[in-house]
Amino acid sequence: DNRKATVDTRITPNSVIRTGRNSKVIFAVGKDAFILRERSKLELKGGDSIIRSLRMVTGKLLSVFGRREQNQRMRISTTVATIGIRGTGVYVEAEEDRSYVCTCYGTADIEAVNDPDSRETVVTRHHDSPRYIRANAVRGAAIEAAAVINHTDEELELIETLVGRSVPFAFGGDYDSSRSTDY
């Protein structure tokens, strides 16, 4: 919000957050928690206590989202992609000409901003379908498979803990463990 943050800085559902070189911020707003990495800009938009959308201007963001009512849909947008979120852990990298999206677990509707023929619903249990979304691709081919990069299960567990939950998979390979929903 155009001022230097401290440990006491309150981040609201309508904050604008920027990180500088060699910095990051770990925070929670309502049922959602985040790690915003260095050299990133994130704009939150929401009501009094709930975030409704995120605009990832540039940089890298790891997020976990609590369940929402049907009328409280969550959306992340970058310059290249729109991601509809449904009770999900998601990692996003936003660049000018491409975005990276890993639906770590849960469901996400991914769509290329400039190509309505490039859309996909991703349902994953454990980093099953990372994607690149490219700005200048052949029509219908803007979304392509990618590898898992730049985020860990331990980071997901950390931010889920901030909001009183745990990841929906167990460390050690028991991916059938159910996600705690006490929120």
Q: What is the CATH number of the domain that holds 86?
A: 2.60.120.1440
Write the CB contacts of 182 (distance below 8 Å, at least 6 apart in sequence): 164, 165
Q: Using the Cα atoms of residue 144, residue 150, residue 152 and residue 155 in order, give the sign of their dihedral.
A: negative
Residue that has been written with the tokens 């998979």 in this structure: 169
Structural domain contains residue 180: no
At 96 the three-state DSSP class reads coil
Both tokens of 57, joined, read 């201007």
Both tokens of 85, joined, read 């979120």
Partners of residue 91 on adjacent β-strands? 62, 102
Partners of residue 44 on adjacent β-strands? 54
Phi, psi (deg, nearest 5) at residue 96: -65, -40
Structural domain contains residue 152: yes
Structural domain contains residue 80: yes
In 25-127, DSSP assigns E strands to: 25-29, 32-36, 41-46, 51-64, 74-77, 81-94, 98-112, 115-124
Q: What is the pLDDT of residue 68?
A: 81
Of the candidates 123, 147, 119, which has an alpha carbon nearest to the alpha carbon of residue 133? 119
Structural domain contains residue 59: yes
Say how far apart CA 126 and CA 133 lie, in whole Å.
20
Say how many domains are in the chain. 1
Both tokens of 137, joined, read 């691709």
Q: What is the pLDDT of residue 183?
A: 30
pTM: 0.90
Say how far apart CA 165 and CA 122 lie, in whole Å.
22
Structural domain contains residue 151: yes
Structural domain contains residue 97: yes
Structural domain contains residue 2: no
Say how far apart CA 72 and CA 57 lie, in whole Å.
22
Structural domain contains residue 176: no
| 44 close to 12: Cβ distance less than 8 angstroms | yes
Domain that holds residue 89: 16-162
The pLDDT profile of the chain, 183 residues, written as one tens digit per residue, is 778 888 888 999 999 999 999 999 999 999 999 999 999 999 999 987 789 999 999 999 999 999 887 777 899 999 999 999 987 899 999 999 999 999 999 999 999 999 999 999 999 999 999 999 999 999 999 999 999 999 999 999 999 999 999 999 866 544 344 444 433
Q: Using the Cα atoms of residue 67, residue 153, residue 142 and residue 38 in order, give the sign of their dihedral.
A: positive
